[in-house]
Structure 1
């Protein structure tokens, strides 16, 4: 039975990924910093095992992965809202914290996990389409997600036969969006109208791409765009 660890798997795409990996028959482990969110996630994915974890804590990551070794699939779905805004008003302190919470957390977790990965393991990262789409007000998060994607090809070459890939979502209906009610519905309707797919992705849509990247033995060094075509029209 393959052993899968989803770090940042307590909501949204991470939780959907855990659910789909469990349905495939994996021994699934969820890790997150917040105890209440972790408990809620485990209630939604009965059969998974939960772990309190800060991905920036290398020793904690190392200890957890060692307890699961050999780990077959490492999935990182770390995100945050810091770093958004026009450059003239951008809080660079917020952006540095965003890099700590996502880029440095990705790099720290992957490095700490390495000694305990299976020989043919997969590492799957989650970035965002802002890395490659010129959207005003996203210079900070674009650079952050581009940094995450910049890990993929060199690590795929360096760590082979371990496979390294990423998934780049566009607009996804997850708790990342803090709007509620009619404001949320109106914003999503506006976004969807401009997409070739004419719809906002669900967490499950993106999770399918993550699971594909994590499980397909012929895929490495690749960033999968699961963005509804926003890159074609932005």
Structure 2
């Protein structure tokens, strides 16, 4: 981070575009400020709230390409694992198998922790995220697993491995389709993207320390989660590229506004 004054994730990521900040910007951070197309989980409207350990049902689908060129994966085995604050995974009960349309319905344990959904088949593997608190609803709708959601999950886990308070929404905001492609090609390291997100979140916390009327960070992060949930619901309901773009633009604006209103940007 620069200056030690604290910046929002959005503004910090923007600074990473400057050639003087990163030694190889064309290969890496020049794209981090772009809009995220990765999504994590969607809490189903009207679902009941559960206690950790109760059964929850997660519905979703698995695709073999990015969201603009979906190809369903049949016969993939889907599992879930809870993510700790240090990025370690604890397997949750239950498995499901995707049908001919790539859809699955997984009954597993409710948890307050973020969740990684994993799908595997012969010659194929992918992952997607559910944010903290999503998996205590009786019904949860996950996004289609894509190359982007896999990169998002990898970055989130790498950030958590640094004992960072990075949320799923932070990874979703930063990891774009282009960033995911760079990670797959090897021109960008997952660890470098994770380090950028961690630095931005830490900068926000430093800024909060300078706020006189208590720490506004928890409230701002809660607002981000709420706006992110709205984004995911809108994304799940849309079957068109224009609908997804509209939902994305709203999420980006809401993500930035949550911290601006708290005086942290």
Normalising to structure 1: TM-score of the pair? 0.30
Tell which has more relative contact order, 1 or 2 (C-alpha 8 A, sep 6+): 2
Q: Which has the higher helix share?
A: 1
